[in-house]
């Protein structure tokens, strides 16, 4: 077992790697996380490769999974199941801005379980799982992304990306509904889902390398709801609008905003020049950048039909502001600058 505890109240685990836990002596019952009690918040964590069980399992009354990278378990990625605490009113859970990825599982393990909300021991679960702006990637078509399996357990899914399996929903419990999600054209879209964008490819930067940021041409851009709300363990209402993004690994950055939410865990953002200063004969140009991108700084003497000329190319991105020097740039006739991203 990785982290196991019960009787938690306001447990917080952040920016941690929990990986490769489990033993064949407890095959199917040893997990990377196994929690219980009142409440837990897990954020900015890298949770992966549970050897004989699930990556994250809890029997707590209330759980927050925020901006995590959860991947490659042998028996299920997220299990939010029953206990005496979960039978109480407002036994909710919220998932915002997570990347959840499964792999094809070995024979003898649960090949369809991805996210389960409800029970696994015959008890009650009285609450709702709120899933907002997550990116869900299946290891193969056997995966059933969302399952609720007890009468009073419901799931609300908004602004998510479901990719690589056409089974958005398994068992429905008290009901599984969704709005403004992306799914493949071949997927079975439940009648309880509305405003679903469908297509063949969400246009990630590099799916094979698990770079799941969106490209400029992504059909997931600007298709999200801007108002998202969830209930906590006391029944209080909160905004579920994503404020951060997970950065590989165990890091985070503020999520960009252009006034309309994209679907999934990442917001597409264009580089913007935010400062231009002159020192001596040099021009210094600053712009916002993201780790994993490459940038070209170009100039033109005339923006109306003039040719754009490189100042520098293939500038590696970082999460923050980058400053580039145009040597002797102040000594030339007027120049207009622009930043181009490889994305």
pLDDT digits (tens, 9 = 90+) for 234-264: 999 999 999 999 999 999 999 999 899 999 9
Distance separating alpha carbons of residues 322 and 286, to the nearest angstrom: 5
- Nearest-Å Rg of the Cα atoms of the chain is 23
Judge whether residue 292 has pLDDT over 80. no
Q: Could you tell me which of 34, 108, 39 has the C-alpha nearest to residue 78?
A: 34
Contact 79, 41 (CB under 8 A): no
Q: Could you tell me which of 42, 96, 90, 59 has the C-alpha nearest to residue 233?
A: 90
Is residue 263, in this structure, part of any structural domain at all?
no
Is residue 261, in this structure, part of any structural domain at all?
no
Same domain, 182 and 36: yes
Is residue 268, in this structure, part of any structural domain at all?
no
The helix (run of H) or strand (run of E) holding residue 311 is strand 309-316
Domain-ending residue, one of 219, 254, 289: 254
- pLDDT, residue 1, reads 81
- What's the farthest any 2 CA atoms get from each other in the chain? 77
Share of the chain above pLDDT 70, in %: 99
Same domain, 218 and 89: yes
Distance separating alpha carbons of residues 215 and 212, to the nearest angstrom: 9
The residue-averaged pLDDT of 105-109 equals 89
Q: For residue 302, give its domain range.
A: 273-341
Is residue 267, in this structure, part of any structural domain at all?
no
Same domain, 55 and 22: yes
Same domain, 13 and 148: yes
- pLDDT, residue 342, reads 67
Both structure tokens of 142: 């056997």
Q: Which position has the token pair 């958005």?
A: 168
Same domain, 324 and 202: no
- pLDDT, residue 308, reads 93
Number of domains in the chain: 2
Q: What are the angstrom distances between the C-alpha of 42 and each of 91, 94, 186, 251? A: 17, 11, 33, 13
CA atoms within 13 A of residue 37's CA, in its CB half-sphere: 14
Same domain, 241 and 280: no
- Average the pLDDT over each of 73-87, 165-179, 245-259 and give the range with the smallest value: 245-259
Is residue 188, in this structure, part of any structural domain at all?
yes
- pLDDT, residue 305, reads 81
- Sequence-separated (6 or more) residues with CB below 8 Å from residue 38: 7, 8, 9, 10, 60, 61, 62, 85, 233
pTM of the model: 0.89
């Amino acid at each position: 077992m990785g982290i196991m505890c019960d009787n938690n109240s306001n447990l917080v685990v952040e920016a941690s790697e929990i990986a490769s836990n489990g033993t064949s002596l407890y095959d199917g019952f040893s997990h990377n996380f196994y929690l219980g009690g009142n409440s837990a918040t897990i954020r900015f964590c890298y949770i992966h490769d549970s050897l004989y069980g699930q990556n994250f399992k809890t029997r707590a009354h209330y759980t927050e999974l925020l901006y995590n990278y959860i991947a490659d378990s042998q028996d299920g990625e997220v299990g939010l199941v029953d206990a005496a605490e979960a039978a109480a009113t407002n036994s909710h859970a919220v998932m915002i801005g997570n990347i959840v990825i499964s792999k094809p599982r070995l024979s003898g393990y649960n090949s369809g379980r991805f996210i389960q909300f409800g029970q696994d021991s015959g008890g009650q679960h009285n609450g709702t799982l709120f899933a907002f702006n997550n990116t869900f990637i299946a290891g193969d078509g056997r995966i059933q992304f969302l399952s609720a399996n007890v009468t009073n357990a419901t799931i609300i899914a908004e602004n998510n990306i479901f990719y690589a399996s056409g089974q958005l929903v398994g068992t429905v419990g008290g009901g599984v509904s969704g709005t403004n999600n992306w799914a493949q054209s071949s997927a079975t879209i439940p009648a309880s889902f509305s405003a679903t964008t469908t297509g063949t490819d969400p246009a990630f930067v590099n799916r094979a390398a698990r770079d799941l940021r969106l490209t400029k041409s992504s059909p997931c851009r600007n298709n999200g709801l801007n108002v998202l709300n969830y209930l906590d363990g006391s029944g209080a209402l909160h905004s579920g609008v994503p404020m951060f993004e997970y950065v590989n690994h165990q890091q985070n950055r503020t999520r960009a905003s252009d006034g309309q939410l994209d679907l999934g865990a990442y917001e597409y953002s264009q580089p913007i020049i935010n400062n231009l200063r002159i020192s001596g004969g040099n021009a210094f140009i600053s712009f916002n950048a993201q780790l994993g991108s490459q940038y070209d700084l170009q100039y033109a003497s005339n923006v109306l039909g003039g040719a754009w000329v490189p100042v520098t190319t293939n500038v590696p991105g970082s999460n923050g502001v980058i400053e580039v020097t145009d040597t002797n740039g102040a000594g030339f006739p007027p120049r207009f600058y622009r930043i181009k991203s490889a994305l």
